Amino acid sequence: MNYSANRIVFSWEDIEDLIVKISNELNRLLPSCLQDYEIIAIANGGIIPATLLSYKLKIKSINIFPIIDKKVVPHKIPILDSTKKYLLVDEIYDTGKTIEMVEQYMATANYLKIFLLQRYETDTASDYLCGKTLNDPRWVVFPWEEQTI
């Protein structure tokens, strides 16, 4: 990580370390049934972490939960099966507004929330997995945001 006065910049190596940490924790918590899970990436920030987790955990099924301009796109939400289990992945738990929006559409689904980072410690930390807690108000920059194509 690279810290400046107003931002924290994560490297690809930092992200890989977080993916390994989360994968190890998932394998510890769900050792025999991870292959029964499907991954749902919260767009756009959760797409790359979800893909990296899918490779690390050998989970082949990935869907995207569509959010555009901070709004859910209902007609593009994947069809959820109440008999299946999901890993719901996003890059950061910050204010909680994004995950609250998503959870309104996931009411009947069986899922575990996963975040690479969380901004601050929360009282609800027991209902999700997180790779790292920042306890820092600075802007977070991920490696896929740092470069322009």
Per-residue pLDDT of the chain in tens (149 residues, 90 and over written 9) = 888 889 999 999 999 999 999 999 999 998 888 888 999 999 999 999 999 999 999 999 999 999 999 999 999 999 999 999 999 999 999 999 999 999 999 989 999 999 999 999 887 657 899 999 999 999 999 999 966 54
At 68, list the tokens. 């555009």
Domain residue spans of the chain: 2-146
- The pTM for the full model equals 0.92
How many CB atoms are closer than 10 A to CB 56?
16
DSSP character at residue 33: T
DSSP string, 36-98: GEEEEEETTTTHHHHHHHHHHHT---EEEE-EETTEE-GGGSPPP-TTSEEEEEEEEESSSHH
At 144, list the tokens. 């896929």
pLDDT value at position 14? 98
Chosen CATH of 2-146 out of 3.30.720.120, 3.40.50.2020, 3.30.360.10, 3.90.76.10: 3.40.50.2020
